[in-house]
A and B are shown apart, each in its own frame.
Chain A
Amino acid sequence: MTTLIEGCDEIVKDFLVESYENLDQLDQDLVALEQDPGNREILASVFRTIHTIKGTCGFLDFGKLEKVAHVGENLLSKLRDGELELDANRTSALLTMIDAIRSMLSHIEDDGSEGDADYGNLIDLLTNLQQTGSGPEAAGTAPGRAPDRDVEDVAQDAKRSAETAQAGGDGTLGSAETTTTTAQAADTPQDSAKQTKDTVQAADTPQDSAKKTMATAQAAETSGTVLSPAPSPTASSLTESTIRVDVDHLDRLMNLVGELVLARNQILQFTSKEEDAAFVATSQHLNMITTELQEGVMKTRMQPIGNVWNKLPRVVRDLARSCGKDVKIIMEGKETELDKTIIEAIRDPLTHLVRNSVDHGIEIPEERQALGKAHEGTLLLRAFHEGGQVNIEITDDGGGISTEVLKKKALERSIITTEQAARMSERELLNLIFAPGFSTAKKVTKVSGRGVGMDVVRTNIEKIGGSIDLQSKEGSGTTIRIKIPLTLAIIPALIVTDSGDRFAIPQVNLLELVRLEAEQIETSIEDINGSPVYRLRGNLLPLVFLNKELKMQAAESSAAGSSAVSIVVLQADEQQFGLIVDEINDTEEIVVKPLGTQIKDLDTFAGATIMGDGKIALILDVMGLAQRAGIIGELSSHGIGEHKEQASTGSDQRRTLLVFSIGDDRRMAIPLDLVARLEEFPISSVEVAGDREVVQYRGEIMPLVRLSRFFNTNPDETEQLQVVVYSHMSRSIGFVVEEIIDIVEERITVTIDPDEQMGLDGAAVVQEKVTDLLDVDAVVGAAAPEALEPAATAEAEA
């Protein structure tokens, strides 16, 4: 046996590759078949696959494998002939058989033997299931009815197939259908010929009337295949028209094509100066061919998303059965294509999300019926191209997610603080599910509920430049939307210049561009204790100077101070910041190349790219840059994790505070993340509504709370009111302070005085001065309780 294998290494390899592919197809077919047990086409395809595997094993002398495949084939042939009906037990047994075959195949792949596992039980089970009346459990399930249905089904089938056969007889129409089946199973002509023989034999054997009709039908169907000359040649040319190529070859091709593109660009530059018509024409030709070649090579790496999805029906079926649920999976846009590396990268996250939907999303049938939903849950997978990206949606019609439960869980686990929870929008709350250490499953099951999943999913999606978003309506379901780039190799980027060097910024991080003329720089960039900020439409945007962060000396070309600068507004996690660069060049599609190990650890760079002129530009890693600049926390990759860090370190913590005075030299501070905006209002714009001071602000009426009155201090009277705007649930409230002093980031120790004044949250030493910490909730609750009620109720009252 072993000598044979050694001699047939190539054959075994081909057998393995082919069988794996066929098995993947089988998983799908069987699940589809369970939904539609009468589908002869699928049954025939399943039968053929197992038949092929069995045949090849016999030839290669894999006895055990052959035995398992053989009993499976027997069961399948009875199913195909309509002697038995496919029920859940039989499907499970067949799926187990596929798993067994798969494990033997992988054993063969490893060491050439089928392994020591004993499949006696499985073989017995498969043999038992060949008895009519199905497995022991199924014996009681209306044995009288099933045959009736059979007859009906079969009669219909017969009619249909007879029609097909007719059509096949007089043209290619019918043959087209049969061709697809043949092609799907990647069958050889011999196989289909053999099959025809099989079925003809079946037709010869006299059986009960129903079966006869059936057999005739099949004979008719197959005779359609025989009659039309088209199928066999098509099937064979189909196997000949594809070859397997090592991905490394494709990667090398891709690199070379990239080079060719650069060489082409350089030649085109010469062409513009050249007057020789023949040369110009030739280089134009070169240009076109190169572009086409580039597209062609890119295409070789593209694969339909169906390749990943194909595994999911089985996953869903197994999981649904184990949790006692009924779930139907619908796929739209299977043919949507993605780069191979991306396909690989989303495989696990997608599987995880789908499992989550089945496990947590969809309710058990009784619960669904009680809610008036169909007892069978639906899981919809959609994929489509949009704006150079691929969108993937996973929608379930299950119980949805309760933001209240999420909020409670997040607070329990100190993922967020109470103030943060109060300020979070519904969408933000929903996306808490992606926070590290979060899981809302009521109980931990074997598939989910351990809270390690969703943050990993998000990290993996973001790693490939994608984004993930979750929408949910309690009671009616959840939709998860993933956006990923078509390819990792080529991304759109903004090219900027700073200190004489060019850098590429991935477009996904880019929000907007702001240009500051030389004379504006002084006035519009404000400096709060060394941290520069820019007021972007009322919001404080922290600024980062690229040259400072990268410790670059300006090249002599950029004369200091005299020229304009640009602010590139970027998004890193939940935080926006402005990156100041000397110049913005252009947006370009860039080819991402990895960095060598010597510099790979620099988290400010995500890679490098070669520009049109052959020079290299580094690609900025916006996240890494933000972390380096201290815009977002360094310890966690996500904003929410950072909050967790703060919440769990207790009273001795590093916080960013807005420090202000309220008169009588009293200093007060509130966490900067509670501040929506800083505003100035002339005293004349203050109006009175009821017994409260208000101002018109952004089309709304914003109540003002004078902290000096609340805390009984005497501030200096000014013409302009300094207002700290606090927002909650889209309602704003303005705290009037005497003066904004500073924004500081300090490690503070909060001391709480037991009989301290109402509205304070303790005191701390900030910038070497005692500073009270404002308890925003308490002050609002006492001074303007109505101000922060949800907008709807406030309107109703008005």
Chain B
Amino acid sequence: MLEERQFCTFLVADLFLGIPVSAVQEVIRYHEMTRVPLADRTITGLINLRGQIVTAVDLRQRLGLEDRAPESLPMNVVIRTDDGAVSLLVDEIGDVLEVEERDFEPPLETLGGKVRELVRGVFKLETGLLLILDEEKAANVSSTQSEAMELVRETI
């Protein structure tokens, strides 16, 4: 069950997603990034957030969705995690929504692969479905593992 009632919402491709407001440090516009060679493909780069170096994780990649059109610039939802701030790259920022507990349902069996892994549940809103993202899991990417996986993929 979710204890949070207020969610910061955003769009990634055609998914309407939300994370608890309490997890969000700030939301900022597109920020220039420094790419990190050899890093996991979900990591778009590093952002200088007032002197702090923040890793940007592309949620489209993370959720296994198609790439963003090159001309559209992502927004940063900077979240606090146990290991410091991480920026989640999203397409568009929505409102902060307050939801009712009775509208909540656990993740649907039919949800596809990566989305299923990273979604904690669904709120049925009048305007549509709000998927609640497990922000810690979404930010938890390790680069060595992925490299090893890529190697495996390459050799097969």
Q: Which residues of A contact B (CB under 8 A)?
A: 255-256, 258-259, 262, 501, 550-552, 593-602, 604-605, 608, 610, 614-618
Contacts and interface: CB of A to CB of B under 8 A. Distances in A.
A610 B39 CA distance: 19
Contacts of A552: 37
Contacts of B32: 615
Interface in B30-87: 32, 34-40, 43, 46-48, 50-55, 57, 83-84, 86
A615 to B, nearest CB: 6
Interface in B89-131: none
Given A601-B143, A601-B144, A255 B52 contact: yes
Contact of B83 (A501, A551, A596, A616): A596
Main SS of chain A's interface residues? mixed
A615 B38 contact: no
Interface residues of B, number: 28
7 contacts: A259-B50, A551-B38, A597-B83, A597-B142, A601-B143, A602-B36, A614-B48
Contacts of B37: 501, 550-552, 604, 618
A258 B51 CA distance: 7
B23 interface: no
Contacts of A604: 37-38
B150 to A, nearest CB: 10
A501 to B, nearest CB: 7
A602 B40 CA distance: 10
Nearest to B86: A596
B139 interface: yes
B36 A605 contact: yes
Closest 9 CB pairs of A and B: A550-B37, A596-B55, A259-B51, A616-B34, A601-B144, A597-B83, A598-B141, A598-B55, A616-B46
B34 A501 contact: yes
A455 B35 CA distance: 35
A600 B34 CA distance: 15
Contact of A616 (B53, B140, B143, B144): B53
B141 to A, nearest CB: 5
B36 A599 contact: yes
B143 A602 contact: yes
A387 to B, nearest CB: 29
Nearest to B57: A598
Interface of B: 32, 34-40, 43, 46-48, 50-55, 57, 83-84, 86, 139-144
Contact of A617 (B34, B39, B83, B144): B34
Given A255-B51, A616-B53, A596 B38 contact: no
A551 B86 CA distance: 24
B34 A596 contact: no
A596 B51 contact: no
Nearest to A610: B48
Contacts of B54: 596
Contacts of B48: 610, 614-616
Nearest to A255: B51
A600 B46 CA distance: 12
B51 A602 contact: no
Contact of A599 (B47, B52, B55, B84): B55
Nearest to B81: A597
Given A596-B54, A602-B144, 16 more contacts: A255-B51, A258-B51, A501-B35, A550-B37, A551-B37, A552-B37, A595-B53, A598-B55, A598-B142, A599-B43, A601-B144, A604-B37, A614-B48, A616-B34, A616-B48, A616-B53
B139 A598 contact: yes
B53 A598 contact: no
B51 A256 contact: yes
Given A259-B50, A259-B51, A598-B86, A618 B38 contact: no
Nearest to B47: A616
B59 to A, nearest CB: 13
Contacts of B38: 550-551, 602, 604
A593 B34 contact: no
A253 to B, nearest CB: 12
A596 B54 CA distance: 7
Contacts of B40: 598-599
A606 to B, nearest CB: 13
B147 to A, nearest CB: 8
A327 to B, nearest CB: 46
Contacts of B144: 601-602
Contacts of B55: 595-596, 598-599
A549 to B, nearest CB: 8
Contacts of B53: 593-596, 608, 610, 616
A775 B97 CA distance: 78
User: Which of A596, A597, A604 neighbours the largest number of chain B CB atoms within 10 Å of its CB?
Assistant: A596
